[in-house]
Each structure stands twice: as structure tokens, then as C-alpha cells.
Homo-oligomer: A and B are copies of this chain.
């Protein structure tokens, strides 16, 4: 018997001296010991939160790989299709562009001359009918502002062919027009305060009116990365040469990137969608639109960084301009209105200081003031895009005006916080993601109808 036992033990490799339980090889170890529920069943039945964060990484990998696939597909279909030689800008456009670029800032000088004349005249003629004089100088400023926009608009409409040149000139004139407006409005109030001995903000003490009308002060405002005139700005202590060089590098690299993406990826999509728009095959156009959306959002983001981060910071560093909040974290916006408030701070600051709050002071409500601000912004958008592409088709205007209902729809979501903000953020991104390429497509189509048919 003991012999048998030994043999059995040895056959299952049970050394005699070992603890008998450990000596078995574990084939009878109970592995199903407890009642357990599958994670997905549990989450479904008790509403407990599933930890799915790993799928986020999968989503990113899918996104990267599917875009990588599009790169390969694009290369196989088009090779490298970049016009290395030129952007196709006619020589005349360059010539007119240079004249305009030199001409536009003159309106700022004109505003300065009007203001100098105004204070000189009002000081000398204190006893004559100055009300009319105030109105006359206001009218002169208004004519100057209008001329700043109107001249460039007419030149671009009738003499500039290339949309890129047109866009640059129009953006330049809009910026200068807003600067002139701010300069005129601010100095008008400073003049009133000066003549009536009203107090002005502490910050402006070092350059009291009318000493702020000096030429150097004007030049500073001309180049400062702001649309809002102040006699005095907060300044940074010095110019960091490494920062300047980094900004310049960023501008060069990102501009090249934008050019490459536009030429290599966006242009073929736009070109291939023209026949589809002609034959009204809207399902195919929608497919093109979705394909364009990924490129255009990346180009837009790179454009945002190049302008609002690199260029404006470069300018600020060189001008020792202190307040560099050119944008806030608009990408986290829980509503469309928050986006518009955060993404373009210089423009937003201008609108608030010179349109929104003055309208409120005149008794307009918040909603009508907002509508007016968006309308002005919509007109400027249509002006830039519509004139530069020689097609005032109103799409940019309508797109901007649609921001008002979108803002109203997403504002309550943002106030809900948590998932509400996420939904609001998604609505903002979706409208942005699809709205941008739709605008591009329609203006490109209108351009083609005009010039290539």
C-alpha cells in the first residue's frame, strides 16, 4: 500500500517531505471562487461609470492613421503638385499692392492732423459757435475712416486680380480703419475732458492731452499690436532677441506649412468639387466638403498660431508692448459666444470699447448691442472675402449673422456646466469645422464661375 502511494505520489511529482497541498501542481486550484458581474453588464445595470480612457488613445490613433492614409492617397493621385516657381500673382497686383500698403497708413496721419487742427481751432475760437466745429471735426474723422476702407475696396475690386493680394490689402485697410476710428473717438473724448477739465484715467498721466498727439505717439500706435488707442500702454522692460528669433522662425515654418497644405491637399479637393457643383451632385459635394474640412481646420489652426501667437507677439516684443493677451483659451469654449469673445481679443476689445458699451450707455439693450456688433463684424467679413474674390455673394455675411442664433442656442448649455459645456463646445467645433470649408467652397466656386467659364 505504501509502495502504491509512493508511486502515485511520484507519478504526480509529489515529494514526500512537501506540504501535501502545495505539492499538487495546482490543476485543481479553484479559480472561479466568487460571483462576479461583467464590467459592461454592471455599468448598464447600476449606471456606474465605465473607465474607457483607453479608447481615447484608440480614437487619436485612428484619427492619425486615417489622415496618414489620406496623405498616401493624395501622393499617389497627385504626386507633389506644388507650384514651386510662383503663387501666380500678376506683376500689376504686386505694384498696386505696394502703393496701397504705403497709402493706407496715411489715414492715421490724416486723423492726427484733423485732431491737431481741432484742438488748435477749438482753443483759439472758444467764444464762437463751437458745437458746429465739434460736429465738423467728427464728420472729417468719419470721412477719413470711410475713405480708408472705401479706397482700398475700390482698388481691390477693380484693379487687383489675385485673391491673396486682395485679402492682404483689405485686412490691412480694415485694421487701419479700426485704428483710425479708435484714435478719433478716444482723442475726441480726451479733447472734451481736456477742455472741460474732466478727469482722465491715471494711466494716461504721463502723456496728457494734447501732448499725446505727438508724432512719436502716433507711430507707436500705428505699429502696436492693438486696435484700441490709449495715449499710454503698459510696456515690457526690454526686447528679448531670442524671443524675436523664435517668433520669426515660427512665422516662416508655419507659413510654409500653410502654403504646402493649401497647395497639396486643399487645392485638389476644391478643383475636383467644381464639376460636382456644376452638375449639382450634392452627395458628392458633401463628401468633398467633409474631406476639405480636415485640411481647412488644420490650416486655420496654423493660421491662428502664426497670426495671433507668432506675428502679434513678434510685433509686441519689438514695440515692447506689454499686454499680450491676444487670445484666451477659446478652444475650450462652452458656447459660440464665448468663442467670439476669446479668440480674437484685439477685435473684441475694439468692439466692446467703441461700439458695445457706448451703445449700452445710449440706452440700447445687451441683445441689440450684440446684434449691431455682429452685423458690423459680418459686413467687414463679407467686405474682405467678397471683394478679394470679386464676388459679394453674402455667404460670409450670412455665416457671421448665423453666429447670433448659434450663440443664443449654446449659451444655456454653457451655463449648465459639465456635460452641457462639452455639448456646447462640440456644437461650436462642429459649426466651425463644417462652416469654414463650406464658405471656402462657395467662394471658390463663385470665383471659378467668374473667371474660368
Chain A contact residues, CB within 8 Å of chain B: 1, 4-5, 7-14, 20-21, 24-41, 50-63, 65-69, 72-73, 75-76, 126-127, 129-131, 134-135, 182, 185-186, 188-190, 192-193, 195-196, 198-201, 203-204, 226, 228, 230, 233-236, 243, 283-284, 286-287, 290-291, 293-294, 297, 305, 308-309, 312-313, 322-333, 349, 352-354, 357-358, 361-362, 422, 425-426, 429-430, 433-434
Contacts and interface: CB of A to CB of B under 8 A. Distances in A.
Given A226-B32, A324-B36, A430-B61, A9 B72 contact: no
A204 B11 contact: no
A73 B21 contact: no
A54 B28 CA distance: 53
A188 B29 contact: no
A322 B37 CA distance: 8
A331 B52 contact: yes
B290 A69 contact: yes
A277 to B, nearest CB: 15
Given A59-B63, A429-B54, A433-B62, A73 B287 contact: yes
B61 A63 contact: no
A196 B2 CA distance: 10
B322 A32 contact: yes
B34 A196 contact: no
A282 B30 CA distance: 51
Contact of A12 (B38, B51, B56, B192): B192
B62 A24 contact: no
A57 B126 contact: no
Given A4-B126, A61-B433, 11 more contacts: A1-B126, A11-B192, A25-B362, A28-B200, A30-B203, A35-B236, A54-B425, A56-B56, A63-B66, A66-B290, A76-B287
